[in-house]
Amino acid sequence: MEYEIRNALPLSLLPSIGQLARPGLHAAAPVEAAHSWAVGPRGASMRKREVALAGEPGAPAVKEEQFVTALARGLEVLQAFRPGEHRLGNQELARRTGLPKPTISRLTYTLASLGFLSYERDTASYRLSIRALSLGFSALGGFAVRDVARPYMQKLADETGVSVALGARDGPGMIYIEHCRGDSPLHIGIEVGSHISLATSAMGRAYLVALPSPERTLLLDALAQKGGRGSLRKSVETAESDYEAHGFVLSLGDWKPGVNAVGVPLVLGSGPLSFSLNCGGPAGLLPPELLRDSVGPKLAAIAAAIRKDMNLQSA
C-alpha cells in the first residue's frame, strides 16, 4: 500500500491543538517556540527574518518580489502562542515577535476579523480560535506516518511503561506529532504539539545525525548564532558516534535533569519527510544500560518496521 505524506504547513500551531485534544493537559517542560527562530537579535528587521527563514535546510529559494511581508508578520503573530497560554495581549505579542505595537494592533484586528483570533474584551487579549487550530489539525492529518507508527509506538510504551513519541523539525526545535504513553504514573508532561530542543534531546539528535552533511552544517551554524557553538558541536559529534556504533542516540539528563531518552531517525524522504522517534522518561525507569541494551535496539527496529510498512527500503 502506498502512502501520501503531505507537508501541510503550520506545525507551530500544534501546541494549542495538544490542549484542545486533551483538556487540562499542557506541556510542563520548557518550550522552544518556533516564533523565536531567527538569526540575529529579537528586534531584528523583517528583512533579516526573511533571510533567516530562507536559509533553513530544505527551504525554497525566496524571490524577494514574491515575498509578502504582511502575511509573514501575520503568521508570526499566530506562532507566538505557546502551550498553557490561553490569552495574549498586544503588548506581549509585540515583545515576542519584535514587531512594533501599532503593527501588532493592525495584525490582531485583521486576524480577529478573519476568524483566526478571538478577542476578549474583559482582558483586552486574544486567543487562538478553532479556525486557527484547524490549520494544525490539517497538518497532523497530512502525516500518514502517524497512523502507521502508532501501533508500534504504543507496544513499546506498554512494554517500558514510559512515553514513546514521533516528531518533526519545526524551526530551532522538534515538535511532537504523535505520542503514546505507558502505564507508569511518572511522566514528563509532554503532549502532541510540544516543542523540545534539537541539540539536547534524543529526538533532536536523531534528526540531526540523519541529515546530509551540508544541511546539518547549515542548520548547526544557524543554531550556533544563539550561543553554545562548542557544546553544540560536541553533542552532535557524540550523537554521530553513538548512531554509527549502535543505530540510535542517547540523551542522559542533557535535555532535562533526571530525564533519560533514546532516539532514532525515521527518514522517509527529504525535507518534510524526515522524522525521528524517541522513548524517554524518568532516569529511574530508564537507566543508561536499559536504553543501550534493550530500548534502543527495539526503537531502531520500530523505525525499520515503519519504513517497511510504507514500502520503503530499510535504512
Can you give the pLDDT at residue 164?
95
Can you give the pLDDT at residue 315?
45
pTM to 2 decimal places: 0.59
Gap between the Cα atoms of 219 and 57, Å rounded: 7
Can you give the pLDDT at residue 140?
52
Mean pLDDT of the chain: 75
In the predicted structure, residue 260 carries a pLDDT above the cut 90 = yes
Instruction: Name the pLDDT band for 130 (thresholds 50, 70, 90).
Output: low
3-state secondary structure of 108: helix
**Percentage of the chain lying above the pLDDT 90 cut:** 35
- The runs of H, that is alpha helices, within the chain are 14-21, 46-54, 69-79, 90-97, 101-113, 130-141, 145-160, 202-210, 213-224, 229-246, 288-290, 296-309
Q: Is 168 in contact with 175 (CB distance < 8 Å)?
A: yes
Question: Is the pLDDT higher at 3 or at 173?
Answer: 173
Can you give the pLDDT at residue 205?
94
Gap between the Cα atoms of 291 and 269, Å rounded: 27
For residues 210-240, one letter each, b for 16 or more C-beta atoms within 10 angstroms of the residue's C-beta and e for the rest, the string is bbeeebbebbbebbbeeeeeeebeebbeebe
Instruction: Name the pLDDT band for 272 (thresholds 50, 70, 90).
Output: low
Angle between helices 14-21 and 130-141 (to 10 degrees): 100
If we measure between CA atoms, which residue out of 33, 20, 121, 46 comes closest to residue 78?
A: 33
Q: Which helix (H) or strand (E) holds 166?
A: strand 163-170
In the predicted structure, residue 243 carries a pLDDT above the cut 70 = yes
Instruction: Name the pLDDT band for 154 (thresholds 50, 70, 90).
Output: very high
Can you give the pLDDT at residue 139?
55
Can you give the pLDDT at residue 313?
55
Among 160-164, 192-196, 237-241, where is mean pLDDT lowest? Answer: 192-196
CA 155 to chain centroid, in Å, comes to 23
Q: Which residues contact 267 (CB under 8 A, 6 or more apart)?
A: 210, 273, 274, 275, 315
In the predicted structure, residue 55 carries a pLDDT above the cut 50 = no
CA 202 to chain centroid, in Å, comes to 13
Q: Of 61-65, 194-198, 270-274, which has the strongest mean pLDDT?
A: 194-198
Can you give the pLDDT at residue 10?
44
| CA torsion through residues 286, 177, 215, 5, sign | positive
As a whole number, mean pLDDT of residues 150-156 equals 95
As a whole number, mean pLDDT of residues 161-176 equals 88
**Long-range contacts, 113-120 (Cβ 8 Å, 24+):** 116/78, 117/77, 117/78, 120/87
If we measure between CA atoms, which residue out of 89, 96, 91, 94 comes closest to residue 121?
A: 89
pLDDT in tens, 210-230: 888 888 888 888 877 766 566
In the predicted structure, residue 42 carries a pLDDT above the cut 50 = no
Can you give the pLDDT at residue 233?
77
Question: Is the pLDDT higher at 154 or at 312?
Answer: 154
pLDDT in tens, 69-119: 888 898 889 888 876 667 899 999 999 999 999 999 999 999 998 888 988
Q: Is 126 in contact with 119 (CB distance < 8 Å)?
A: yes
In the predicted structure, residue 178 carries a pLDDT above the cut 80 = yes
pLDDT in tens, 13-30: 444 433 333 333 333 333
